[in-house]
Amino acid sequence: MEMMAKAKVVRKRIVLGQISDYAGSSRKYGTAYAAARDIADEVICTGDNAHRSRAGQADRVSGRFVELRTPKEVSDHIKRTAVPGELILLKNSGNLHLERIALAWTHDVRCWIPVCGKKETCQGCGLYEVPFEEHGSFLAKRRFERRRRRFGWLLGGLSLTRRS
């Protein structure tokens, strides 16, 4: 956060998601909010523990603190309120996949489930442009197509298409 504090930009925003650095303590969210507040013009807390920030009413009313439940809500808020030249820091332990907020600026992110259970990043998974409910069928179809391309020659070049 030191680099963020030193940055000379139009506006600074920090998005705080799940914090796993201090397991078992809910005070960590208040501490993280206080540190972020000292640096940023706006602090956005998201996820199941967003309410633990201990942000004051004045910060809530002024818009200095924003509590949003899901990464999709955060992404929509940031896109709606973005200004050229601002700096945004996304801090998360990984389970909320806040990287989708950045990906949404250059990709059509359609997988917005708050917690998918995958340990890898969204870039590693590669399915962020596919709605979460369709991941299973999408992967099955992709596997089938790979097998068809790989083994189609075994059948004399015949196409291995599914019959309905």
Encode pLDDT of 34-45 as tens digits.
999 999 999 999
Kindly tell me if the per-residue pLDDT of 83 is higher than 90.
yes
Answer for the pair 13, 44: CB distance below 8 angstroms, yes or no.
yes
Kindly tell me if the per-residue pLDDT of 98 is higher than 70.
yes
| Most trustworthy range by pLDDT among 79-88, 142-151, 152-161 | 79-88
Q: Where residue 141 falls among pLDDT bands split at 50, 70, 90?
A: very high
Q: What is the pLDDT of residue 126?
A: 92
- DSSP structural state of residue 63: T
- Phi and psi, residue 47, nearest 5°: 100, -175
| Most trustworthy range by pLDDT among 1-10, 103-112, 144-153 | 103-112
Q: Please state, in angstroms and rounded to a whole number, the distance separating the CA atoms of residues 42 and 36.
A: 9
Give kind and range of the element (H or E) at residue 66: strand 65-68
- Phi and psi, residue 9, nearest 5°: -135, 170
Supply the pTM of this predicted model. Answer: 0.83
If you write DSSP's letter for every residue of 108-154 in order, what string do you get? Answer: ------S----SS-HHHH--TTS-GGGHHHHHHHHHHHHHHHHHGGG
For 14-28, write each residue's pLDDT tens digit: 999 988 755 556 788
